Amino acid sequence: MSNPELYVGIMSGTSLDGIDTALLDLSQPHPRLIASHFQAYEQPLKDALLDLHLPAHNELHLAQLIANRLARDYAAATLKLLNKAKIAPEQIRAIGCHGQTIRHRPESGYTIQLNNAALLAELTGISVISDFRSRDIAAGGQGAPLVPAFHDRVLRHPDIHRVIVNIGGISNLTDLAPDKPTSGFDCGPGNLLMDAWISRHLGQPYDREGVWSTCGNLLPGLLDTLLSEPFFAAEPPKSSGRDLFNMTWLESHLNGDEAPEDVQATLLALTGKSIADAIAHQCSGAEEIYLCGGGAHNTALVAHLKDALPDCRIAPTAALGMDADWVEAIAFAWLAQQTLLGQPANLPAVTGARHPCALGAIYPA
């Protein structure tokens, strides 16, 4: 049996719910999850992050202060994770930390994920790999999604056409068709609009199992208007985020007299239809669909997908031995390993980059 090769993956996604940390042994082709830990964002931090998605006075200073705060929170979450597993920091090869996206503008040649990786390395005593997206963008790519390369390496089947769908704040998919290059792209809003809408009207962080959405009626006219956004019709490669899909965008399409629960039902349909349409149009012949991310727990959304894609088996990635809540954190641990190995970890067919690139910047312990 080979010696363990231990990495920590940290993911804080567009949903802004908090920090996922995962401890992995990457000595074998299939990652072994040793321990996991979730640390929720406090509301003031979440509000500050939301504010930074739009231009504001003194935003550079504020962004750096929040990056320092995030690094401290990432470090605390990492040390709690290691304490839970009874693993010392010096046993960890590296931390792969995505950082918190506040701007994603590949069309302008940049992306911003807040994190002070040097401070994170200082606080943990562990080398940190961060800033994974910039190298791909420098090569002409979207810088996202990056996780399809991990799906390709770990979840591909030689004979079965699989699609992996991550439903976080934004939804994205990876098409794993046998004997074809892996492809993938962002589909549109995942949970972020539904979360924001229920937070405004019911004060809840998310619609547990989609229950509130089932209390409302679909508004076909609103759904058609939302789907008229050019992003949905654009051909891959494509990626998106809160820069496009946010409450201002949603409100610009509302009359103002809609029942809140009807809007929630329509937002769920928007997420479900944008995913189902993407699979139907871009992943022809798909046999199995595996869901991960927070949206995999939305019973109403999963039912919508099963109705829209009756010929496909739909299940959480746990059916493949990978807990749906931890896939992205696991992926960033794997991406960190690829960085240390000097191996390319982007897929040009996914991101649109001109060539494969080794990703990430290394901050030694």
How many structural domains are present in the chain? 2
pLDDT tens-place string over residues 42-57: 999 999 999 998 888 9
Buried b (16+ CB within 10 A) or exposed e, 303-318: ebbeebbeebebebbb
Q: Which residue has the tokens 């995962």?
A: 22
Residue 311 sits in the same domain as residue 349: no
Alpha-carbon span 59 to 40, nearest angstrom: 24
Q: Read out DSSP for 12-81?
A: --TT-SEEEEEEEE-SSSS-EEEEEEEEEPPHHHHHHHHHTTS--TTHHHHHHHHHHHHHHHHHHHHHHH
Question: Model's pTM, two decimal places?
Answer: 0.95
Residue 249 sits in the same domain as residue 112: no
For the chain, give the percent of residues with pLDDT over 90.
96
Residue 166 sits in the same domain as residue 306: yes
| Residue 336: pLDDT over 60 | yes
Give the pLDDT confidence score for residue 53 in this predicted structure: 86
- What are the start-end ranges of the E strands in 220-330? 288-292, 313-316
Which amino acid is located at 313 in the chain?
Answer: R
| Residue 2: pLDDT over 80 | no
Residue 299 sits in the same domain as residue 246: yes
Please, what is the average pLDDT of the chain? Answer: 96
Give the pLDDT confidence score for residue 55 in this predicted structure: 86
∠ Cα 184 355 336 (to 5°):
70
Alpha-carbon span 170 to 152, nearest angstrom: 20
Residue 164 sits in the same domain as residue 297: yes
pLDDT tens-place string over residues 130-147: 999 999 999 999 999 999
Give the pLDDT confidence score for residue 210 in this predicted structure: 97
The pLDDT of 163-184, averaged and rounded, is 96
Residue 180 sits in the same domain as residue 290: yes
Give the pLDDT confidence score for residue 25 in this predicted structure: 98
Q: Quick check: 176 and 161 in contact, CB under 8 A?
A: yes
Range of the domain at 52: 6-144+325-363
149 domain-assigned: no
Q: Which residue has the tokens 């727990």?
A: 297
Query: How many residues make up the chain in this entry?
Result: 365
Token digits for 30?
């299939």
Token digits for 331?
């992926």
pLDDT tens-place string over residues 175-204: 999 989 999 999 999 999 999 999 999 999
